[in-house]
Chains A and B, each alone.
Chain A
Amino acid sequence: AQTVTQSQPEMSVQEAETVTLSCTYDTSENNYYLFWYKQPPSRQMILVIRQEAYKQQNATENRFSVNFQKAAKSFSLKISDSQLGDTAMYFCAFMKGSSNTGKLIFGQGTTLQVKP
């Protein structure tokens, strides 16, 4: 069975600084996807970034980038130039690669506080 672990329950960062959120996972699959979702106080789940396991290049979306280490089964999220609106809970998630499956397995989440 797949598992996702986020070892940092809470983190804080000063506005405009850079912060990295950690995520590790366990799987025997070779084809899979990894995601970071953001959940602000509104409770809406918002996709931040996704990574295909077969791609060696790390995904980037504006101020958000990942460090994907497949051999180490690590998938960290880096937020550059942190903004107050980045304050939220962040979830790392895993999904098998078959289009016939769809189960997202989530980590426990990391609460990020961006301080002015």
Chain B
Amino acid sequence: DAGVIQSPRHEVTEMGQEVTLRCKPISGHNSLFWYRQTMMRGLELLIYFNNNVPIDDSGMPEDRFSAKMPNASFSTLKIQPSEPRDSAVYFCASRTRPGHTGVETQYFGPGTRLLVL
């Protein structure tokens, strides 16, 4: 399996621009997670989906952030408008469905390093 795929790997943008991060989970996995990693706050969950439905978005910083999962193989995290404090590494992770061995384990993508100038 190719693992979790994220794009782009690096993104540099200017304050005020819209940023869209993309994620393709592992085939057959039905849960998808978006995490953000910063020096100040460490790794924190932003939002996660079960069966394409958002379950917990309490970690989404503010209305500038939105996430969608239109189907089981694709998710986006959008920031509009972006601000310098959004600079971070954004990880996508997925896990298999209940009843399957290893259901508790999340597998991470390589991350997107975002820099907002």
A75 → chain B closest CB, angstroms:
15
- The answer to whether A102 and B95 touch across the interface, beta carbons within 8 angstroms, is yes
Residue of B nearest to A37 (CB): B108
Does A55 sit at the interface, judged by CB under 8 A? no
**For residue B97, which residue of chain A has the nearest CB?**
A99
Instruction: List, in ascending order, chain A residues with CB within 8 A of B113's CB.
Output: 43
Main secondary structure of the interface of B (DSSP, over half): strand
Q: How many residues of B contact A (CB 8 A)?
A: 25
* A-contacting residues, B78-109, CB 8 Å: 89, 91, 93, 95, 98, 103-108
The count of residues in chain A whose C-beta lies closer than 8 Å to any C-beta of chain B is: 24
Instruction: Give A contacts to B, CB under 8 Å.
Output: 33, 35, 37, 42-47, 50, 52, 91, 95, 97, 99-104, 106-109
**Can you name 5 A-B pairs with beta carbons within 8 Å?**
A43-B89, A44-B108, A45-B91, A102-B106, A104-B45
